[in-house]
Amino acid sequence: MMNLYKLHSSHTKLSTISITSIIAFTLSMPLQANEDDLFFEMPVVLSASRLEQAVSEAPIAITSIDRQIIEASGARTIPEILRLVPGVVIGSNANEWGEEAKQVVTYHGHTDQYSKQMQVLIDGRSIYEPIIGGVNWNMIPINIEDIERIEVSRGPNASTFGSNSFLAVINIITRHASEDQGHYVKARAGNHDIADLTYRYGGSNGDLDYRITATTQNDDGLDAKKNLNTYASDGNVVTRQYSNEIVENHDDIGTGAIDYRIDYQINNNSRLTYQGGYGKTDLEIKKNYASDGIKPQRESDTINAHQFIKLENTVDDNNSFIIQYYYNLQNKTDQSRSNLIEVGAPIDDFSLDLDFGFKSERHNLEFTHFNQTTDNLRLIWGVSAQQDIAKSPYWLYDQGTIRREIYRLFANAEWQINQNNLLNFGALVEENRTLDTEVSPRLALIHKFNNNHSIRIGVSQAIRSPFIAEEFGSTVYSHDLTSGGSPIDFTLLERVLMPNDDLEHETIISREIGYFGRFLEDKLLFNARLFYDRIDDLIQLERINDLPDEIDNYDNSAHIQNNLSSTDITGIELEMDIQPNPSLRFYGNITSLKIKSNDTPRTLRSVEFEQSAPEWTGSLMVIKQFDEHYSGSLEFHYIDEMYWMDVPRNELNEDSNYRTLDLRISKSSRQSGSTSEISLVLKNLLGEYSSYNQAPDDGPVVIHNFTGYIEYAVLFQ
Amino acid sequence: MDNNQSIGFPEKLAVPLGPLLLLACIFISPAQVFATQHTIIVSSADSNYQKSLVEKIQKNLKALDISADIYNTEQAIDISTSEKLIISIGHEASILIDNKEPSNPRLIVFADTNPDTDPVHRSKPHLSMTQPICQQFKLIRLLNSKWKNVSVIMSSPNNLLTKEMNSCAEKHKLTVKNIKLNDYVNIIDALNTSLPQSDVLLALPDNTVYNAKNIKSILLTTYRHRIPVIGFSESFVRAGALAAIHSTTEQMARQITEIIQKFYTDNSIGSDSQFPVYFDVVTNRSVAKSLGITIPDRESLTNKLKSDNHE
């Protein structure tokens, strides 16, 4: 009889070798493992709450700026990255009003130096400032190195994110701590006194992953050039030119921040995320072209801090939920004394003690439930409660500490009607202490012609609630006058801003048709959006000249915030992402839009709104990986003429379109246990330009000119 | 080969017992015949997966009236009766049995996670718990015909595997980008380097790469690059991989039971090198939807793979 053992010991054919046994044959690393190491129960990592909605199935146009684009941009600040989003324009304002210089990000205009019609979130945490609205991008304690991607919802998205998700929503998503393991150091130095340093350490201990990042960023801000215009006798500009001489622009900035993130996998279905951060920004502030008695040259510092805790639980394949709480703090110190104010004898001259500082806090608690009700119906609903606490001697002179609560209930459903049609519908109900209950609904139908082509027809409504300074704003300069050093029992009152009890929120109704297409075997992704937005009750400052007698004021006039304007925005946005091969990528967009004021009669304000966005904008980024070590990118932007809302309309500020070209070249290298990259970034290669086109009076204009820096980054264990 | 040989009885007993067994076969049922068969099953003492598999095999054998001695690696194992079929499940049990140098017929069931000893197992009749690599490439091709570049991360260089992979990939018009983990700072660095050039990541059951410590960062990083992962277990897919060919413990137990049955029928356990014949394709449709990938339903994928196996 043939030996049974021998019968089965014939040579095994290569084609039937299991992949695991081949590995086994040649690997030399000794391991003690059993099958449980392969078939262990893994935690649910890509849960419903973490998965993004596919762009082709989203109820709204979404631009996702991924890590590759972020790195290729060589950007030092988030607004620089946002330039790549269709319809987004950024500007660096010029201290005209004696406040700090800041970067402003706008989508579809309607914006002065406070861009208040866009919601901005970091990992779902709103950083929309409660007192003065918008976001001061200089003061966000977040490191670009920690960002996974930036998603921008183009168009209102209040049914998901609540009020202020008005013209667009920017959602900055940071990486899970487990993705940043080891030591990472990045240093940057260049002209404009650029000196930045980042250190990050990521580690893990069992089911706990953590990351801590410390960063400091410094530069001398933008340059300014003297105005050398010549004027005719009637005051009109004959020639418009600027000196080549760079003059001091008081906008030096230094920031230091530390942020951390801990991700703890409680069990296979539950995880806890805890994030926190603390940042301090030091700013030089001065009106850049003339002295200002009320807002003299000074320095201000702002502290930003936050705590964020989130529990995610996957109950089963069809249900998961999130409970999250966050706390934001912004504490700005900006105190000074005005120049001497001459009143005239017998009243003594005096100076005002000024406090432009403020403190705002936000507590937010939210519950969200993700439910796959049936194979064809997915539901997301939730509730949230928010409290904003605000204190500001300048904006809330006699209001003390303001506490404002907001409660929200939201539900959004995604119904796969059949293979080709998907219906998204939902609404958010919002209530706060002073305004009525408001509903922000959305409806979008997506029709897929096939796997490569789909169209979206949608309509949505959103509101922008007045921020605290709009709703409660009360700004008063006061001083007890003296004569010969003795009180005269008279208080000088200059009431600059008064609250308006009848103020309503702004509303937008957006109608859109979108198209999404894949071409050339997914090498070319294209989306287009045609939109028509109607905005009503736009909040604007209004001067009141005949104050009631009971209101004590120096000149019997003051400003109030009021719902004064209405506009229509129509336009088209085109976005393309082309990747002919893995080492070459083109990402670009073109936007054309028109703003039309509905005000009757038309006023200067009507013109300001209509000119607040460029008619044409376009961007193109090319990313090329030359070989294993060398890579490069080119980034081009074109911005058509526009006026920011607070820029005076005069000849000085004409012809404001500009083009920019940036270049980045990198070389990466790999040693044992470490990887490093050295990069050269050159910005504004097409010459200088002003992004805020603001040349007040005879003052200097702030410009963006050549900026170059070298970056060196190293990652090691 | 006669009936006595087929049931594995010692040769010296075959002749005198033959007529008796023939009579017995006339008067009693086949199940009663199997009642005289005996199998030794050994598994690791501390593996829940193996424990579950053994329980299911035991249940199947009981239904067939085949008795089995069940041991774990911490127990004293009696293999003095050399005609008994020994099934060792997993690396630890297989090593233990190897050390006893039995003359019994054997079947090793293992998942090949131990590079030191797996070549030894491979030289004996064995059943792999995972699918052959060509099957994985077939799955990739079925999931999306547009995918061309497949990344594979290995813990260290492996020429034999690389050759096999390239051969299978070529057959399916795919290109493999082979990443050696040791060349990078960590798994994230390896992924960040390889994924931009890839359409899909094929995860091989290499527990130096894919383990409880790494799995979160792997899935998050691949998702960030919008690259789907082909896993190797149902749990992997539930965690966030796009798809996997997976055999449940019930399916593995069924196949092992059939091998035992076959052994007691024709004294053969079949091919020296076997792979799971009972399997399903598991998919994560939420991940597919989020990545904008349209994939066939799991039943048609499974049927297609099974029908291809039969061709």
The pLDDT of residue B130 is: 83
Dump pLDDT digits (tens) for A394-448: 899 888 899 999 999 999 999 999 989 999 999 999 987 666 788 999 999 999 9
Q: Which residues of A touch B45 (CB under 8 A)?
A: none
Rounded CA-CA distance A175/A71 in Å is: 14
Distance from CA of B168 to the nearest CA of A (A): 9
Of A461-475, B92-106, B183-197, the poorest mean pLDDT is in B92-106
Which range, of A5-19, A610-624, A685-699, B187-201, averages the lowest pLDDT? Answer: A5-19
| Cβ-based neighbour number of residue A325 at 10 Å | 15
Confidence (pLDDT) at A13: 38
Closest residue, chain B, to A23 (C-alpha): B161
Angle, helices B187-194/B215-224, rounded to nearest 10 degrees = 20
CA distance B284 to chain A (A): 10
Chain A residues 27-56 within an 8 A CB cutoff of chain B: 27-46, 48, 50-56
CB contacts, 8 Å: A373 with chain B: none
Q: Which of B90, B128, B232 sits opposite A34 (nearest CB)?
A: B90
Q: What is the mean pLDDT of residues A539-567?
A: 86
The full set of domains in chain A, from first to last, is: 4-716 (2.40.170.20)
Rounded to 5 degrees, what angle do the CA atoms B203, B135, B224 make?
A: 30
pLDDT in tens, A634-683: 999 999 988 888 877 765 556 578 999 999 999 999 887 899 999 999 99
- What is the reported pLDDT for A240? 63
- Please give the residue that has the higher pLDDT: either B162 or A482: A482
Q: Which residue ranges form the domains of chain B, and what is each CATH number?
A: 3-129+249-274 (3.40.50.2300), 133-242+284-310 (3.40.50.2300)
Query: Is the predicted pLDDT of residue A695 greater than 90, yes or no?
Result: no
Lowest-confidence range among A315-329, A384-398, A499-513, B265-279? B265-279
Helix ranges (H only) for B74-180 are 91-100, 118-122, 133-143, 159-171
For A:293-322, CB contacts with B below 8 A are 317
* Share of residues in chain A with pLDDT > 90 (%): 56
- Mean pLDDT score across all residues of chain A: 87
Residue B185, min C-alpha distance to chain A (Å): 5
Q: CA-CA distance, A503 to A562, in Å (whole number)? A: 6
- Given an 8 Å threshold on Cβ–Cβ distance, is A48 in contact with B185? no
Looking at residue A1, what is its pLDDT? 36
User: Which residue in the set B1, B131, B158 is minimally distant from A26, CB to CB?
Assistant: B158
Average pLDDT over residues A318-327: 95
Whether B161 sits inside 8 A of A715 (CB atoms) is no
- The pLDDT-based confidence of A235 (bands split at 50, 70, 90) is low
Residue A282, pLDDT score: 82
Q: How far is B78 from chain A (nearest CA, A)?
A: 19
Collapsed DSSP state (helix, strand, coil) of residue A59: coil
Q: Do B46 and A34 touch (CB under 8 A)?
A: yes
Per the CB < 8 A criterion, the answer to whether A446 and A57 are in contact is yes
E-state strands within A399-469: 402-418, 421-432, 438-448, 453-464
Helix (H, G, I), strand (E, B) or coil at B190: helix
Closest by Cα among A580, A588, A621 to A72 = A621
CB spacing of B223 vs A66 below 8 angstroms = no
pTM: 0.84
Q: What is the pLDDT of residues A359-382, one digit of tens each?
A: 999 999 999 999 999 989 999 999
Q: Report whether pLDDT(A17) > 70.
A: no
Interface touch A20/B130, C-beta < 8 Å = yes
CA distance A148 to chain B (A): 7
Computed over every residue of chain B, the mean pLDDT equals: 80
Average pLDDT over residues A7-15: 37
The tens digit of pLDDT for each residue in A23-49 reads: 343 333 334 445 556 777 788 888 777
pLDDT on residue A479 = 86
Q: Closest CB to A18: pick one of B112, B116, B123.
A: B112
Give B73's contacts in chain A (Cβ within 8 Å).
none
B282-297 per-residue burial string, b: 16 or more CB within 10 A, e: under 16: bbbebbbbbbbbebbe
Q: Is the pLDDT confidence value at A262 over 90? A: yes
Chain B nearest-CA residue for A173? B224
Reported as a pLDDT band with limits 50, 70 and 90, residue A330 is: very high
pLDDT at B32 over 60: no
Torsion angles phi and psi, residue A25, rounded to 5: -65, -35
> Given pLDDT bands bounded at 50, 70 and 90, which one contains residue B310?
low
From CA B251, how far away is CA B257, in angstroms rounded?
10
- Phi then psi for residue A68, to 5 deg, are -60, -45
What is the rounded average pLDDT of the residues A339-344?
A: 81
Q: Which residues in chain A are closer than 8 Å to B48, comparing Cβ atoms?
A: 36
Percentage with pLDDT > 70 across chain B: 82
Chain A: give the shortest CA distance to residue B28, in Å.
27
Is residue A498 over pLDDT 70?
yes
Q: Give the three-state DSSP class for A191.
A: coil
**Which chain B residue's Cα is nearest to A3?**
B105
A36, A54, A181 member nearest B47 (Cβ): A36
B295 close to B283: Cβ distance less than 8 angstroms: yes
Residues of A in contact with B161 (CB under 8 A): 19, 22-23, 26
Query: Which has the higher per-residue pLDDT, A712 or B20?
Result: A712
Contacts from A337-344 at CB under 8 Å and sequence distance 24+? A337/A296, A338/A293, A338/A294, A338/A295, A338/A296, A339/A291, A339/A293, A339/A296, A341/A293, A343/A481, A343/A492
Contact call for A209 and B287, based on CB within 8 A: no
Give the span between the Cα atoms of A646 and A655, in whole angstroms. Answer: 17
Lowest mean pLDDT among A168-172, A675-679, B22-26, B246-250: B22-26
pLDDT: which is higher, A161 or B38? A161
pLDDT at position A716 is: 92
Lowest mean pLDDT across A419-423, A617-621, B124-128? B124-128
The answer to whether the CB atoms of B136 and A674 lie below 8 A apart is: no
Q: What is the pLDDT of residues B75-118, one digit of tens each?
A: 877 777 666 788 988 888 888 888 877 778 888 888 765 444 56
